[in-house]
Amino acid sequence: MILNHPGLKGNRHRLERPELLAPAGNLEKLKFAVHYGADAVYIGGQKYGLRSGADNFSFEEMREGVEFAERYGAKVFVATNIYAHNEDIEGLEAYLRKLEEVGIAAIIAADPAIVETAQRVAPGLEVHLSTQQSVLNWRTVQFWKDEGLPRVVLARETSLEEIAEIKSHVDIEIEAFIHGAMCSSFSGRCVLSNHFTDRDSNRGGCCQSCRWKYDLYVDGDTVNGEEDNQFTMGSKDLCMIRHIPELIEVGVDSFKIEGRMKSLHYVATVVNAYRQAIDSYFEDSASYELKPEWLDEVNKAANRPLNTGFFFDTPSTEEHIYEPEDKAAPYDFAGVVLEYDAETGLAVIQQRNHFKPGQEIEFFGPGGTFFKQQVGELYDLEGASLDAARHPLQHIVLRTEQPVNPMDMMRKRIR
């Protein structure tokens, strides 16, 4: 049994409770991730990361993000996880020194050249080994510990049994992806994007060609007819919220959520659900049980069907997506609360998607704050009546049936 694996109980290098590590593609997402319960956030700078399509951070934005996170006792990590070509080396030392200067707690690196350079020129930065190194066994983890790294991010293909084995042999922090998109290639080492679009997945340019739709051919003839669905190579997404006790008790130190390209609504919703589940376990592990509302919340942010990845078994054909993908829940992100007046019950909402009177909406905030209502009368800031909130980022005044707080979020029902 995994939970009683020999060596786990005496393991010294284990966080007091697991870190909840959230993605942030821009400064706003960083702030919401921290506000909704993340212990740490990983971001990308404008160089050396694998999400060149994200907004990514300037050094000034990093500094502001670090200052915000520190107010909550949270940390900021920076992904520097490309495999560097010769032309990538120039400027690396200065970049790493600047990360240290602005207060970044750690970098996430795969290339040994980046690892060594960071250790040499920016000793104040921790170096966490990226999942791009595809680490699956304790001997490799021991190697990187001997190289001075305090944490290894395991390959997504690692099982719970293998994590237990690693933790029983090596006294080190283990980080594992517990939620988000999975790659059809081994640990993301894909070259399809390079061949199809000349965009290098391992230098930040992935075009997600596995999610494209394809016709199938045999001897020059198409196998799928006009009435058939086109084929994709896309996998279902990972979700381990049903298995918080197993993850904690096997010794995972950092629960990592994938998604620097995902929406603000996704980040806040998923972080909020996992935060509640983790805290509930530590409040009373003996009587812990999964609450249906946590799973409901995760599904409201889901882009694809969900599964448990490689944690319990090798995924089969059932874990891939062959049919058109249905949205998991009938809700869309509609707005963010900016202000609330308790005397009048009126809230100022920053619009993020069209909504109008009569629609069913939900409000939610950190820690499980949640209620439903219908949209009533709408006004602009000058008091003029509106028939709909139709302009992006428009400030809308509406009455809420319960108190709300700044940074609470609003969804609308769409079917």
Q: What's the CATH code of the domain at 92?
A: 3.20.20.70
Q: For residue range 94-131, what is the model confidence (pLDDT) as tens digits?
A: 999 999 999 999 999 999 999 999 999 999 999 999 99
Using alpha carbons, select from 135, 144, 136, 90 the residue that is nearest to residue 117. Answer: 90
Residue 26 pLDDT > 50: yes
DSSP run (H or E) holding 19? strand 19-23
Q: How many domains does the chain have?
A: 2
| 302/387 same-domain check | no
Tell me the backbone φ, ψ of residue 155, rounded to 5 degrees: -60, 150
Which pLDDT belongs to residue 323? 67
pLDDT level of residue 366 (50, 70, 90 thresholds): very high
Which pLDDT belongs to residue 187? 66
- 56 sits in the region (left: phi over 0; alpha: psi -120 to 50; else beta) called left
- 247 sits in the region (left: phi over 0; alpha: psi -120 to 50; else beta) called alpha
For residue 254, give both structure tokens: 């950092």
Which pLDDT belongs to residue 233? 75
| 352/392 same-domain check | yes
Strands 360-364 and 370-374: antiparallel
Q: For residue range 373-401, what is the model confidence (pLDDT) as tens digits?
A: 999 999 999 999 999 999 999 999 999 99
Q: For residue range 42-88, what is the model confidence (pLDDT) as tens digits?
A: 999 988 766 555 568 999 999 999 999 999 999 999 999 888 899 99
Q: For 56, which DSSP code?
A: -
| 384/266 same-domain check | no
Q: Name the packing angle between helices 27-35 and 59-71 (round to 10°).
A: 10
Asked whether residue 230 is assigned to any structural domain, the reply reads: no
Q: Which of 257, 292, 319 is the last residue of a domain?
A: 319
| Rounded Cα gap, residues 293 and 129, in angstroms | 34
| Rounded Cα gap, residues 274 and 38, in angstroms | 9
Which pLDDT belongs to residue 1? 39
- % residues pLDDT > 70 (the chain): 89
Q: For residue range 303-339, what is the model confidence (pLDDT) as tens digits?
A: 788 899 999 988 887 777 776 665 556 789 999 999 9
Asked whether residue 390 is assigned to any structural domain, the reply reads: yes
Asked whether residue 200 is assigned to any structural domain, the reply reads: no
| 304/392 same-domain check | no
Q: For residue range 186-243, what is the model confidence (pLDDT) as tens digits?
A: 666 677 777 787 776 665 567 777 778 888 888 888 777 666 677 777 788 899 999 9
| 387/342 same-domain check | yes
Q: For residue range 262-305, what is the model confidence (pLDDT) as tens digits?
A: 999 999 999 999 999 999 999 999 999 999 999 999 999 887 88
DSSP run (H or E) holding 76? strand 75-79
Asked whether residue 223 is assigned to any structural domain, the reply reads: no
Q: Which of 319, 342, 373 is the last residue of a domain?
A: 319
| 342/314 same-domain check | no
Which pLDDT belongs to residue 15? 60
* Residue-wise DSSP of 271-302: HHHHHHHHHHHHH-GGG----HHHHHHHHHT-
For residue 327, give both structure tokens: 């949205």
Q: What are the angstrom distances between the C-alpha of 309 and each of 158, 185, 266, 318, 408?
A: 9, 13, 20, 11, 31
CA 89 from centroid of its chain's CA atoms: 28
Angle at 183 between CA 265 and CA 325, to 5 degrees: 60
Asked whether residue 352 is assigned to any structural domain, the reply reads: yes
Using alpha carbons, select from 296, 299, 160, 325 the residue that is nearest to residue 235. Answer: 325
Burial class (CB in 10 A: 0-12, 13-18, 19+), 196: exposed
Q: What are the angstrom distances between the C-alpha of 371 and each of 104, 345, 362, 365?
A: 37, 15, 6, 10
Q: For residue range 31-47, what is the model confidence (pLDDT) as tens digits?
A: 999 999 999 999 999 88
Q: Which of 267, 299, 319 is the last residue of a domain?
A: 319
Domain residues for the domain of 284 are: 2-182+235-319
Please, which residues have CB within 8 angstroms of residue 368's CB and are 6 or more apart in sequence?
A: 272, 276, 293
DSSP run (H or E) holding 373? strand 370-374
| Rounded Cα gap, residues 327 and 413, in angstroms | 12
Asked whether residue 257 is assigned to any structural domain, the reply reads: yes
| Rounded Cα gap, residues 367 and 407, in angstroms | 13
Residue 139 pLDDT > 80: yes
SS3 content of the chain, % helix, strand, coil (to 5): 35, 25, 45
Using alpha carbons, select from 276, 215, 261 the residue that is nearest to residue 38. Answer: 276
| 275/393 same-domain check | no
| 240/378 same-domain check | no
Which pLDDT belongs to residue 168? 96
Tell me the backbone φ, ψ of residue 402, rounded to 5 degrees: -135, 160
Mean pLDDT of all residues in 125-149: 97
Which pLDDT belongs to residue 207? 72
| 266/134 same-domain check | yes
| 309/335 same-domain check | no
Mean pLDDT of all residues in 175-180: 96
| 287/375 same-domain check | no
Q: What's the CATH code of the domain at 385?
A: 2.40.30.10
Asked whether residue 222 is assigned to any structural domain, the reply reads: no
Asked whether residue 245 is assigned to any structural domain, the reply reads: yes
Q: Which residue has the tokens 């939970």?
A: 3
| 154/279 same-domain check | yes
Which pLDDT belongs to residue 413? 85
* Residue-wise DSSP of 166-231: HHHH--SEEEEEEEE---SSGGG---HHHHHHS--GGGT----GGGS-B--EETTEESS-TTSPPB
Mean pLDDT of all residues in 148-166: 97
